[in-house]
Structures are given as structure tokens and as C-alpha cells.
């Protein structure tokens, strides 16, 4: 059902069973997947693709012009995956040429009220961003990442798979996968593994123990990054999770929170 007060450009592609609420504005070159529900007073700007089974609540703004002074009107995009929920007053900006031209939100992700996703961010699948979480430009969040409310993340930061960042944190360095992190800028620290989250997602005790051994070597005994990486390779079973953790640390450009 499309409410008669909705303003929808003729170039919008709408799949079957889509609902669009009153006073919503949808501009050109938007694609909306099957069964998606868009509430009242939503604004969807050009070049946005929304997957199937999504729900976008009232007063959200998707695909707005990037808040980046380098942006000169080039054609850029937003892509939202399937079964993702965008709550009230969320803002998602389009990408920029410098960042590859696209802002992405994965499948089965929840963006709670007042979340801001800036230009060129890449959010994985099954992520949860609590109320007022704020992502600056060019941030990457892995799969199953949870970000607490009122948390701000600096541009270009990466947060690894299955990481949990506590509320009211200010994140200026990369957060490795599988960990709990919280704090304010220079005081942000790792607080061990996200064991509860890992067990909920089916990780075995053996998998968690291997990650724990690698975590201790990388972050708790005072080695340099190169020394720690070599020691993990020599002493810890190279499971996919351990390899993922080590590779994340090796490729970090901003440095990793400890």
C-alpha cells in the first residue's frame, strides 16, 4: 500500500508488497525490495537501493548528501541489505568519490533511533547500533558487531567481527574482532573476549580458547605487533578465527586499541 500523500518519483522501482506511509518523499533512482515497509515522513534521496523485508521508521533520512566539504555533487550511492531495520531519525549519507562512492549497510542489521552513518561507511551483517551511535566517514564494521548507545567512532576506524563496544565510548583506534571494548579516547581499553556473544553465535569452547590464547599474546604481555604475530603463529592453532584476528592486527593503519 502506498499512501496517497507520499511523493514518489516516477523513476523509483518498487517491488511487490511494499508499504509506503504518508508524507514520505522518495526521489529518483531508488530501488525498494519486496515486502519492505517505509513509515511516514521518511526522506529517501537519489541512488539508494533497499533490500527486501526491511523496515524504515518515521523521520529517517536515507541517501542524503555527504557532510564532506570535498563532495562536489558526483554520483554516489547507498545500499541497504535485506531484513534491516532503520529506526526513527536515523541518518545515512551517500558515499564520496574518495571513499569508493558507496555507503553500505548489511543484512539483518538494526540501527536504533538517532544513529548516524556517515559517507562511505561499510556495516556488515547482523550488526546492532544502539541509540545515538555515531559513525564518522569511512568506518568499517564487521559482521555481528554491537555498538553501545551514545558511542562516537572516529573516521577510518575499523571494528572487527563479533566485537562489542560499550556505550558512551569514544573510539579513535581500531577494535579487534571478538573483543569487548569501552572507554573514552586515550582511555579506551579491551576488556577480554565477547564470550557471551560468541557462545550465542555457536562458537565452541575450543574455538574460544584458541582465540583467548591469541588475544593474550597479542594484547597482554607487552610484545610489539611483529613479535606478537610471530608468537601466535608459532604457539596457537591457526583456526580461521585466530587467522582473522591476526590479519586484522597486521593490516591496522590507525593502530589497535589495547
Q: How many CA atoms lie less than 13 Å away from 52 in the CB half-sphere?
A: 5
Contacts of 56 (CB under 8 A, 6+ apart): 36, 37, 38, 39, 42, 44, 50, 62, 85, 86
Question: β-pairing, 134-135 with 152-153?
Answer: parallel
- Residue 125 to residues 68, 81, 144, 146: CA-CA distances in angstroms? 26, 8, 6, 11
Residue 119 annotated in active site: yes
Contacts of 115 (CB under 8 A, 6+ apart): 87, 90, 91, 129, 130, 131, 132, 133, 134, 135
Question: β-pairing, 37-38 with 55-56?
Answer: parallel
Residue 9 annotated in active site: no
Residue 137 annotated in active site: yes
Q: State the catalytic residue, choosing from 137, 142, 148, 160.
A: 137
Q: How far apart are CA 38 and CA 186, in angstroms?
A: 40
Q: State the catalytic residue, choosing from 116, 119, 138, 162.
A: 119
Q: Are 131 and 112 in contact (CB under 8 A)?
A: yes
Q: How far apart are CA 178 and CA 213, in angstroms?
A: 12
Q: State the catalytic residue, choosing from 45, 68, 107, 120.
A: 120
Contacts of 164 (CB under 8 A, 6+ apart): 145, 146, 148, 179, 180, 181, 194, 197
Catalytically active residues are: 119-120, 137
Amino acid at each position: 500500500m502506498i499512501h496517497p500523500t507520499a511523493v514518489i518519483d516516477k523513476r523509483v522501482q518498487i517491488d511487490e508488497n511494499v508499504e509506503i506511509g504518508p508524507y514520505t518523499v522518495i526521489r529518483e533512482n531508488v530501488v525498494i525490495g519486496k515486502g519492505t515497509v517505509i513509515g511516514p515522513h521518511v526522506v529517501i534521496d537519489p541512488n539508494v537501493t533497499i533490500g527486501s523485508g526491511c523496515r524504515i521508521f518515521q523521520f529517517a533520512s536515507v541517501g542524503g548528501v555527504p557532510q564532506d566539504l570535498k563532495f562536489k555533487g558526483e554520483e554516489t550511492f547507498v545500499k541497504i541489505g535485506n531484513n534491516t531495520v532503520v529506526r526513527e531519525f536515523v541518518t545515512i549519507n551517500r558515499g564520496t568519490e574518495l571513499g569508493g562512492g558507496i555507503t553500505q549497510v548489511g543484512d539483518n542489521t538494526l540501527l536504533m533511533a538517532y544513529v548516524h552513518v556517515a559517507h562511505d561507511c561499510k556495516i556488515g551483517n547482523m550488526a546492532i547500533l544502539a541509540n545515538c551511535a555515531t559513525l564518522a566517514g569511512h568506518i568499517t564494521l564487521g559482521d555481528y558487531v554491537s555498538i553501545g548507545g551514545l558511542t562516537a567512532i572516529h573516521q577510518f576506524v575499523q571494528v572487527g567481527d563479533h566485537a562489542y563496544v560499550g556505550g558512551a565510548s569514544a573510539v579513535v583506534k581500531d577494535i579487534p574482532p571478538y573483543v569487548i571494548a569501552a572507554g573514552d579516547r586515550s582511555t579506551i581499553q579491551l576488556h577480554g573476549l565477547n564470550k557471551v556473544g560468541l557462545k550465542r553465535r555457536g562458537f565452541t569452547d575450543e574455538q574460544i580458547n584458541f582465540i583467548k590464547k591469541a588475544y593474550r599474546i597479542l594484547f597482554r604481555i607487552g610484545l610489539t605487533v611483529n613479535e606478537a604475530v610471530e608468537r601466535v603463529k608459532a604457539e596457537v592453532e591457526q583456526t580461521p578465527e585466530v587467522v582473522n584476528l591476526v590479519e586484522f592486527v597486521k593490516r591496522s593503519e590507525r593502530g589497535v586499541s589495547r
